[in-house]
Amino acid sequence: MNEKGIIPDVVTFTSLISAACKSGKWEETVRLFRNLIDCGALPNNNIQFCVGSFMQRWEDSRDT
């Protein structure tokens, strides 16, 4: 997006991060989260919940 001059907003990042979380793509989630911060946007409650839930599932899978 940035290459085409399109600057994503927090709504765009929410959708992308949510999809990456639900797909189990941790590295993509982290990359998108870092991009969000680099663009100067702040994570909203939806992003925080999504990432928190994903981390909990990851921790639970490590315990079994």
pLDDT score recorded for residue 2: 61
User: Looking at this protein, which amino acid is placed at residue 34?
Assistant: R
CA 1 from centroid of its chain's CA atoms = 16
pLDDT score recorded for residue 15: 93
pLDDT score recorded for residue 4: 74
pLDDT in tens, the chain (64 residues): 666 777 788 899 999 999 998 888 989 988 999 999 988 888 889 888 888 888 888 787 777 6
Distance CA 50, CA 64 (A): 22
DSSP code at position 44: -
